[in-house]
Amino acid sequence: MTKECYDRDLYCDIVIAGCGVAGLYTALTLPQDKKILMLSKEDVASCDSMLAQGGICVLRDDNDFDAYFEDTMRAGHYENRAESVAIMINSSRDIINHLLTLGVRFERNADGSLAYTREGAHSRPRICFHKDITGEEITTTLLSQVRKLTNVTIMEYTTMTDIIEENDRCVGIQARDKNGEGLRIYASDTVMATGGIGGLYQHSTNFPLLTGDACRIAKEHGVELAHMDYVQIHPTCLYSTKPGRSFLISESARGEGAIIINHKGKRFVDELLPRDVVTDAILKEMEKEGAEYEYLSFENVPENVVKEHFPNIYKHCLDEGYDLLHEPVPIVPAQHYFMGGVHVDSDSQTTMAHLYAVGETCCNGVHGKNRLASNSLLESLVFAKRAATKITQTQN
């Protein structure tokens, strides 16, 4: 864009592109004497953090570390960055405790202790959850806390179009607002939290607005990218011929006993294997049967569990004409998550000075080649906090 295309110059201490959990938690963790500007490509509700169903992992106790570490590494085909995995796991309990103090309503047992569910490739239940809308619960809670901060301004319907580079360092971003006005936003530090790449796919569980903007911009400026071919397909999305975002049926449904069956009503895969393995089995069965979908059956899941743990999934399936209490629902794999992205270190720093990337936008190596279920929210929060800590250290 030429200089005359810019209509306004704005100035702040930190600019954050993206208002999902990673962007929000970064803002919430930064000092309140810093002027922070946050951008949302559409409205703040249109972020994939809102869509996370299953939950958020936590280290249950000290004896769980080795198992949790191995589960994450095995799911990632041992291509994970071990340092990042250890950081995430060791930070998990503090993150959960902080979310609780902020008002996140995780499910509890009768004695008041946290209830845990299990998903595929986990050796034990270690996932905190709120019904089947955990992402919405966490994101809306963080958003309400950020809105209370007088030092944070959120600009909706404002899209990052580029970064501003001077002397090999990032000094801000270029953006365009809902009126088409060009903005130059100057900041001491910039955080890219623009989500994944699902909008580039025909069938995806992501919002269409997630088009890998940060990765494109990073590449144009010579900022290092990593594992751009590491794309996760979720095995159980509701089959539909309708256009638009695919509806995901949480892996925790299988953790609670739902089974995958073919058109003959026969199981053909262990539902709790890693996502890529289950996806491959479903695709092979579809090819074998010449079918466009297979089925997920809740026949082994008690009715009270369906209605209390999966109310949103139950209602959505009913709206689509399927009563999962009495019949299997058609499912098909769809693009779900991006394990690659803008390369960052353990403090979420990119290879350009004063430029950070967090959440699904970045690749810090936690997930390896395939993400373990319910590690995404945790990873986003842990490394958003580390970005905020590093920015604070460098600005002071």
The CATH number given to whatever domain includes residue 384 is: 3.50.50.60
Q: Which tokens in the block code for residue 59?
A: 């280290």
Are 28 and 86 part of one and the same domain?
yes
Burial class (CB in 10 A: 0-12, 13-18, 19+), 80: buried
Find the helix or strand (DSSP H, E) in which 88 lies: helix 82-102
Contact 122, 143 (CB under 8 A): no
Q: Which tokens in the block code for residue 244?
A: 């638009």
Beta bridge partners of 362: 342
Are 270 and 326 part of one and the same domain?
yes
Are 328 and 359 part of one and the same domain?
no
Are 257 and 124 part of one and the same domain?
no
pLDDT of residue 176 exceeding 80, the answer is yes
Q: Which tokens in the block code for residue 149?
A: 């901060």
Of 335, 367, 383, the position where a domain reaches its end is 335
> What whole-number percentage of the chain has pLDDT above 70?
98
Q: Residue 3 has what pLDDT?
A: 45
Could you tell me which of 260, 249, 245 has the C-alpha nearest to residue 53?
249
Are 166 and 251 part of one and the same domain?
no
Structure confidence by residue, pLDDT tens digits, 67-99: 999 999 999 999 999 999 999 999 999 999 999
Are 73 and 169 part of one and the same domain?
yes
Structure confidence by residue, pLDDT tens digits, 131-161: 999 999 999 999 999 999 999 999 999 999 9
**Radius of gyration, alpha carbons of the chain:** 21
How many CB atoms are located within 10 Å of the residue 242 CB?
A: 9
Average pLDDT over residues 180-202: 95
Are 54 and 154 part of one and the same domain?
yes
Three-state SS letters, 242-265: CCCCCCECCHHHHHCCCEEECCCC
Are 257 and 108 part of one and the same domain?
no
Of 308, 335, 362, the position where a domain reaches its end is 335
Are 169 and 272 part of one and the same domain?
no
Question: How long is the chain?
Answer: 396
The total number of structural domains in the chain stands at 2
Beta bridge partners of 117: 127
DSSP E strands in the chain: the ranges are 6-17, 36-39, 56-57, 127-128, 152-155, 159-166, 169-176, 182-192, 225-226, 231-238, 259-261, 294-297, 329-338, 341-343, 355-357, 362-363
Of 290, 309, 335, the position where a domain reaches its end is 335
The one-letter amino acid at 394: T
Are 221 and 239 part of one and the same domain?
no
Distance separating alpha carbons of residues 35 and 28, to the nearest angstrom: 12
Residue 375 CA, chain-centre distance (Å), reads: 8
Catalytic amino acids?
275
Q: Residue 2 has what pLDDT?
A: 40
Distance separating alpha carbons of residues 157 and 40, to the nearest angstrom: 6
Measured between its terminal Cα atoms, the distance across the chain in Å is 34
What's the sign of the alpha-carbon dihedral 44, 48, 53, 57? negative
Residue 166: phi and psi, rounded to 5, are -140, 125
Structure confidence by residue, pLDDT tens digits, 26-58: 999 999 999 999 999 999 998 889 988 889 999
Residue numbers of the domain that contains 325: 234-335
Q: Residue 1 has what pLDDT?
A: 37
Could you tell me which of 249, 226, 251, 222 has the C-alpha nearest to residue 238?
249
Q: What is the pTM of this model?
A: 0.92
Confidence of residue 5 (pLDDT cuts 50, 70, 90): low
Mean pLDDT score of the chain, rounded to an integer? 95
Distance separating alpha carbons of residues 379 and 360, to the nearest angstrom: 9
**CA separation, residue 50 to residues 21, 141, 203 (Å):** 9, 11, 18
How many CB atoms are located within 10 Å of the residue 254 CB?
A: 26
The one-letter amino acid at 203: H
Are 222 and 245 part of one and the same domain?
no
Average pLDDT over residues 375-389: 98
Confidence of residue 267 (pLDDT cuts 50, 70, 90): very high
Are 319 and 344 part of one and the same domain?
no
Confidence of residue 4 (pLDDT cuts 50, 70, 90): very low
